[in-house]
Amino acid sequence: MANKKLMLGNAAVARGLYEAGCVYVSSYPGTPSTEITENAALYEEMYAEWAPNEKVAFETALGASIAGARAFTAMKHVGLNVAADPLFTASYTGVNGGFVIGVADDPAMHSSQNEQDSRHYAIAAKLPMIEPSDSAECLEFAKAAFELSEKFDTPVMLRLCTRVAHSQSIVSLSDREEKGLKEYVKNPQKYIMNPGNAVRRHPIVEARMEEMALYAATSPLNRIEMGSTKIGIIASGASYLYAKEVFGNNASYLKLGIVNPLSADYIKSFAQKVEKLYVIEELDPVIETFCKANGIDCEGKSVLPITGEFSQELVAKKLLGKEEEHYTYEGNVPVRPPVMCPGCPHRGLFYILKKLGLTVLGDIGCYTLGGAAPLTALDTTICMGASVSGLHGFNKVRPDSAGKTVAVIGDSTFMHSGITGLIDIAYNRSVSTVLVLDNHITGMTGHQQNPCTGLTLKNVPVDPVKIEEVCAAVGIKRVRITDPNDIKATEAAIKEELAADEPSVIIVRRPCALLKKVNYGCKYQVDSDSCRSCKMCMRIGCPAISFKDGKATIDSTLCVGCGLCSSMCNFGAIKKVQL
């Protein structure tokens, strides 16, 4: 039992990296991939870092691979879009030390802005992609990915989905195998991808994928499990588990560990053994389309949805028409959407933005919650960095509304891809006002360090990147700093900068209320006698404040003592209580 452990899928990937002798890990946080890198950082033998964005992370890991190390980078599905540029060309260069790219998809969008299927990237970039189903496979596949990478001279993509990344199951641990550095030999034909060399590399890539398709037919990463031959099921990842839960031995399975490339001969050999063939795959019909293109008769998206997450319930219902008996509750149940935490420093700012009636171009982070009631102060959320660049375009075609339009972007997101948008504003002169919401941490993904926080992933103190200096350096002359909990001063600053006829940045600075170092040392209570029931305090949408018997009341278990509500009250009814 000593070497068996209950482990999160992401932690198991990290363990696999460790056991495989990986020495270099660089990533940008993104749910559901974040814990791979957080766990990798716990092993002294591996260097691990948070890079400013996925493209940088990818390129640093590729650099480490070319230098001869086993290297790894992790990202969420949309992060792969950011890293797509080096991805496609790394396919041409191949590797020196093994290079593995972890990518975590988020079917059902538990914490994402879209539901893209990253298998398309593997196909488009002509890279092998393998997909584990549980933590034990996360560990084993991470190790196998390095072997494949070095054997076939290719980066290997390791695909997870939320239910694999964020489920714990039992893993068996082994010792680490030190690999050291492979020799680095200058090889321009392989690593300088100018047209002349790339033209010669492309056929090598195509030959490699053909060779890998042959390998897929015999690889232990794929397996056939024969049960009843009435139904055959092709599945990978979590979908395989749902199918297994529903059908048990009443079906046969082709469990695909290698999801790209697929072997038509191998799939045909399985299809011939079963009467009715289903492809059970979340998101897009990738395997199904391949089967049909190769004349393999199967059913998939005609019965199963193309959107959302699967479950045993869904598979049983769609394929067998079976449903479990269950209780029901007849009443109307209010939804409970995520909200800004009590004490969140973004709350005061979004109150002001709504009050001023501004058009607000948003970004990716906790402040996306500023779009929810009662603040409802957001107009757009697209992707990392799109607030700043979007504002530039918006203001260029609507110069009249520049005085009523702002961008909001967090400190980590600004480092990720806000700076380039700001350079566009400075260089191409749009009269734009950008608000950088500096809460000293990467918040939504669960508190990761970033270049502005002064600590690395391994908690080494470093000089923080100063946002104000970056803004000045790219040519923004009007840069100022405000405290979002000082509503009057922040409101005045926003009005002034919107009125200015040149670009400006306001750094709205206060640390995340969930940071351990933040302790207000007090709570607030409502003095019912002074409360005039005006509901001003309700406008900030703090989950700790509600109305009871016609008066405001504060839930003392939720209140963290930020005092924003007190500054909203015109009658002094919200009073500080020292702890």
Chain residues that interact with another protein, rule: CB under 8 A: 4, 6, 8, 31-32, 34-35, 110-111, 134, 163-164, 166-170, 238, 241-242, 244-245, 248, 311-313, 323-341, 366, 368-369, 372-374, 444-446, 538, 541, 543, 545-547, 555, 557-558
CA 446 to chain centre: 11
What letter does residue 533 receive in the DSSP assignment? Answer: -
* 510 within 8 A of 484, measured Cβ to Cβ: yes
Distance CA 499, CA 513 (A): 31
* 58 within 8 A of 52, measured Cβ to Cβ: no
Q: How far apart are CB 438 and another protein at their closest, in Å?
A: 19
Q: How far apart are CB 441 and another protein at their closest, in Å?
A: 14
Closest CB to another protein among 193 and 314?
314
Distance CA 414, CA 421 (A): 9
Closest CB to another protein among 65 and 239?
239
Q: Two tokens at 58?
A: 């990818």
Question: Which bin fits 312, alpha (ψ -120 to 50), beta or left (φ > 0)?
Answer: alpha
Distance CA 556, CA 214 (A): 64
Q: Specify the 3-state DSSP secondary structure of 295.
A: coil
Q: How large is the greatest C-alpha to C-alpha distance in the chain, in angstroms?
A: 82
CA 514 → CA 127, 442, 448, 452, 531, distances in Å? 40, 11, 12, 17, 29
Query: What are residue 338's phi and psi, to 5 degrees?
Result: -65, 150
Neighbouring C-beta atoms of residue 169, cutoff 10 Å: 18
Q: How far apart are CB 369 and another protein at their closest, in Å?
A: 7
Q: Two tokens at 223?
A: 């397996």
**Residue tagged 């923080």 (tokens):** 464
Q: How far apart are CB 181 and another protein at their closest, in Å?
A: 34
Q: How far apart are CB 559 and another protein at their closest, in Å?
A: 11
Q: How far apart are CB 531 and another protein at their closest, in Å?
A: 16
Closest CB to another protein among 172 and 428?
172
Q: How far apart are CB 284 and another protein at their closest, in Å?
A: 21
Q: How far apart are CB 545 and another protein at their closest, in Å?
A: 7
Closest CB to another protein among 447 and 480?
447
Q: How far apart are CB 324 and another protein at their closest, in Å?
A: 3
Closest CB to another protein among 3 and 328?
328
Closest CB to another protein among 139 and 505?
139
Closest CB to another protein among 38 and 411?
38
**Cα 293–Cα 298–Cα 302 angle in degrees, nearest 5:** 100
User: Residue 463: which residues within 8 A CB-CB, separation 6 or more?
Assistant: 454
User: Residue 83: which residues within 8 A CB-CB, separation 6 or more?
Assistant: 54, 55, 57, 58, 73, 75, 101
Torsion over CA: 270, 273, 274, 277 (sign)? positive
Closest CB to another protein among 107 and 421?
107
What letter does residue 299 receive in the DSSP assignment? Answer: B
Burial label for 486, CB within 10 Å (0-12, 13-18, 19+), is middle
Q: How far apart are CB 29 and another protein at their closest, in Å?
A: 10
Q: How far apart are CB 215 and another protein at their closest, in Å?
A: 27
Closest CB to another protein among 241 and 283?
241
CA 142 → CA 221, 257, 458, distances in Å? 11, 12, 22
Closest CB to another protein among 178 and 323?
323
Q: How far apart are CB 336 and another protein at their closest, in Å?
A: 4
Closest CB to another protein among 202 and 223?
223
Q: How far apart are CB 557 and another protein at their closest, in Å?
A: 4
Q: How far apart are CB 247 and another protein at their closest, in Å?
A: 10
Closest CB to another protein among 44 and 549?
549
Torsion over CA: 263, 268, 273, 279 (sign)? positive
Q: How far apart are CB 165 and another protein at their closest, in Å?
A: 9
Q: Two tokens at 16?
A: 């696999």
* 6 within 8 A of 170, measured Cβ to Cβ: yes
* 487 within 8 A of 495, measured Cβ to Cβ: no
Closest CB to another protein among 386 and 425?
386
User: Residue 182: which residues within 8 A CB-CB, separation 6 or more?
Assistant: 68, 69, 96, 97
**Cα 473–Cα 479–Cα 482 angle in degrees, nearest 5:** 140
* 92 within 8 A of 202, measured Cβ to Cβ: yes
CA 421 to chain centre: 21
Closest CB to another protein among 208 and 346?
346
Q: Two tokens at 74?
A: 């992790």
Closest CB to another protein among 133 and 359?
133
